[in-house]
C-alpha cells in the first residue's frame, strides 16, 4: 500500500544526548526492548523495523515512519516531540539518516558519516525552507483543497459581496473581463468567486451545518466604490468556470503552510463523515472527505483520526427480531489538512475498506 507523509522536526527537542556507547548498545538491543518503551504510548514498532534509513528525494515522513512503526502517525511521539515542536515543525533533507534507537524506543535524526546528534535547546530552532526539503503529505493531492473548495458557515453567505452586473450586460464572465460588485470589502483587494453549492448535513442531527461552495475563479479590485457609488469594479484574473450576476466573493485565504505534523487530537473526538468530495457514494485511499467536527472541537492541521465503518443496525432473528447495532470496524487513518469552525477536510491515508457517508472518525486508540 502506498505510503504518505508530513514534515519532521529537526529535533529541536529536549532529549538526552546519545553517546557513542549508547548507540552501540542500541544497535545490539532487540525490537522487544524498544517495544517496551514505545508501548507506554501505544506507538508500537514493527518487528522487522530496520536499524536505519537514509533519506532520499521522494521520501515522505509518513512513508519513512511506516518502515518502523505500526501506526505511522505516531512518529512525533517516538521522535520525542512536545506540543510546541508539533506547532512549529522543521524540515529534513535527502542524505540525512533516520536511526532506530532500540534501547530508548526512539527514532533519531543524524548526518552521514557521523553519530546521530540531538539538539538540547528545545526553544532554539533553525528553520530550513529549501526546495529540497522533504515535503508534507503529497502536495498534488491536496493543493486544490487548501484554498478551495470553500466551506460556508454561519452568515458567510449573507454577508459576502456579490456580483450585481457585468460590463455591457454580458451573461457570463471570463478572464480579463469586468465585474461590478456590491458589499463590504473590508480592505481586501483579491477575492475568490464562488457559487453557493450543496448543503452539508450532519449525519447525526440531519441539520445543515455548512455549504460547500463551487469555486469559480479569482478577481482583483481595480476601482473601489466611493461616496457617489458603492459599486466596486473588479477584473477577472483567473477563471475555472464562468462567473455571472449573483455569484459571491470571499477573500483569498493566506498561503497555506504545508509543514504539517501528524498528531492525535488533544481531546477525545467522535466524528462522522459528512460528504465525499465529488459527490460520490464511497471513497478509498487518497480521496478527500469532510467530517462534522472542526476548530470548535479542537481539530487543527495535522490531526490524525481513525476511520471506522459505522456498524449497521440489523434485526436479531434469534431474539424476537430485536434491533441490534453491529460493532464499528476500524479501517484506516484520516489526516486532517483543512479546518473550519464545525467541519474539516481530511485525506484518507491508508484504508482497507471503502469509506461511506455516515462512517465514523475518532481519536486513535
Q: What is the pLDDT of residues 22-40, one digit of tens each?
A: 222 333 344 454 445 445 4
Distances 222 to 166, 188, 226 between C-alpha atoms, Å: 14, 12, 13
| Proportion of the chain above pLDDT 70, given as a percent | 73
Written as nine digits, the cell of 16 is: 538526552
Instruction: Return d(Cα 290, Cα 72) in angstroms, integer.
Output: 22
Contact 175, 236 (CB under 8 A): yes
Residue 61 has what pLDDT? 76
Q: Which helix (H) or strand (E) holds 248?
A: strand 248-251
**pTM more than 0.75:** no
| Percent composition of the chain: helix, strand, coil (DSSP 3-state, to 5) | 15, 35, 50
DSSP class of 37: H
Residue 257 has what pLDDT? 56
> Does residue 262 carry a pLDDT above 60?
yes
Residue 12 has what pLDDT? 26
Q: How confident is the model at residue 42 (pLDDT cuts 50, 70, 90)?
A: low
Q: Which of 305, 297, 289 is nearest to 341 (CA)?
A: 297
Residue 211 has what pLDDT? 87
Query: Which one is predicted more confidently, 61 or 214?
Result: 214
Query: Which one is predicted more confidently, 23 or 222?
Result: 222
> Does residue 9 carry a pLDDT above 80?
no
Three-class DSSP labels, 138-165:
CHHHHHHHHHCCEEECCCHHHHCCEEEE
Contact 345, 290 (CB under 8 A): yes
> Does residue 308 carry a pLDDT above 70?
yes
What's the rounded mean pLDDT across residues 95-109? 84
Average pLDDT, the chain: 77
Contact 116, 92 (CB under 8 A): no
Q: What is the pLDDT of residues 145-180, one digit of tens each?
A: 776 667 888 777 788 999 999 988 888 898 999 999
Q: What is the pLDDT of residues 66-85, one digit of tens each?
A: 889 888 878 777 766 655 55
Strands in 97-101's sheet, in edge-to-edge order, are 52-54, 97-101, 106-110
Residue 260 has what pLDDT? 67
Q: How confident is the model at residue 57 (pLDDT cuts 50, 70, 90)?
A: confident
Instruction: Return d(Cα 75, Cα 45) in angstroms, integer.
Output: 10
> Does residue 6 carry a pLDDT above 80?
no
| Proportion of the chain above pLDDT 90, given as a percent | 34
Q: Which of 198, 196, 247 is nearest to 219 (CA)?
A: 247
Query: Which one is predicted more confidently, 136 or 306?
Result: 306
Lowest mean pLDDT among 7-11, 46-50, 134-138, 324-328: 7-11
3-state secondary structure of 18: coil
Q: Which helix (H) or strand (E) holds 268?
A: none
Q: How confident is the model at residue 189 (pLDDT cuts 50, 70, 90)?
A: very high
Written as nine digits, the cell of 101 is: 534507537
User: Which are the contacts of 268, defined by CB distance < 8 A and separation ≥ 6?
Assistant: 362, 363
Amino acid at each position: 500500500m502506498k505510503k504518505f507523509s508530513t514534515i519532521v522536526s529537526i529535533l529541536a527537542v529536549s532529549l538526552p544526548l546519545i553517546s557513542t556507547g549508547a548507540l552501540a548498545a542500541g544497535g545490539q538491543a532487540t525490537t522487544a526492548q524498544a517495544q517496551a518503551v514505545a508501548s507506554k504510548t501505544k506507538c508500537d514498532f514493527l518487528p522487522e523495523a530496520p536499524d536505519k534509513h537514509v533519506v532520499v528525494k521522494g521520501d515522505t515522513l509518513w512513508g519513512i515512519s511506516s518502515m518502523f512503526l505500526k501506526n505511522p502517525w505516531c512518529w512525533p511521539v517516538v521522535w520525542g516531540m512536545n506540543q510546541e515542536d508539533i506547532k512549529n515543525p522543521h524540515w529534513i533533507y535527502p542524505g540525512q539518516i533516520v536511526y532506530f534507537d532500540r534501547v530508548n524506543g526512539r527514532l533519531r535524526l543524524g548526518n552521514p558519516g557521523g553519530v546521530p546528534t540531538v539538539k538540547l535547546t528545545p526553544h532554539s530552532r533553525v528553520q530550513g525552507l529549501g526546495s529540497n526539503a522533504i515535503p508534507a503529505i503529497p502536495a498534488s493531492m491536496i493543493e486544490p483543497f487548501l484554498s478551495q473548495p470553500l466551506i460556508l458557515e454561519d452568515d458567510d453567505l449573507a454577508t459576502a459581496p456579490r456580483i450585481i452586473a457585468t460590463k455591457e450586460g454580458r451573461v457570463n464572465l471570463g478572464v480579463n473581463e469586468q465585474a461590478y460588485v456590491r458589499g463590504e470589502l473590508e480592505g481586501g483587494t483579491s477575492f475568490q468567486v464562488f457559487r453557493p453549492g450543496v448543503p452539508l448535513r450532519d449525519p447525526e442531527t440531519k441539520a445543515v451545518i455548512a455549504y460547500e461552495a463551487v469555486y469559480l475563479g479569482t478577481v482583483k479590485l481595480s476601482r473601489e466604490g466611493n461616496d457617489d457609488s458603492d459599486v466596486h469594479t473588479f477584473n477577472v484574473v483567473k477563471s475555472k468556470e464562468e462567473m455571472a450576476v449573483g455569484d459571491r466573493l470571499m477573500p483569498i485565504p493566506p498561503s497555506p503552510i504545508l509543514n504539517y505534523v501528524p498528531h492525535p487530537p488533544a481531546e477525545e473526538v467522535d466524528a462522522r463523515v459528512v460528504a465525499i468530495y465529488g459527490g460520490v457514494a464511497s471513497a478509498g485511499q487518497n480521496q478527500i472527505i469532510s467530517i462534522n467536527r472542526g476548530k470548535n472541537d479542537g481539530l487543527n492541521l495535522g490531526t490524525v483520526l481513525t476511520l471506522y465503518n459505522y456498524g449497521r443496525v440489523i434485526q436479531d432473528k434469534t431474539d424476537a427480531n430485536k434491533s441490534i447495532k453491529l460493532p464499528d470496524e476500524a479501517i484506516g487513518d484520516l489526516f486532517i489538512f483543512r479546518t473550519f469552525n464545525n467541519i474539516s477536510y481530511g485525506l484518507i491515508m491508508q484504508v482497507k475498506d471503502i469509506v461511506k457517508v455516515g462512517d465514523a472518525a475518532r481519536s486513535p486508540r
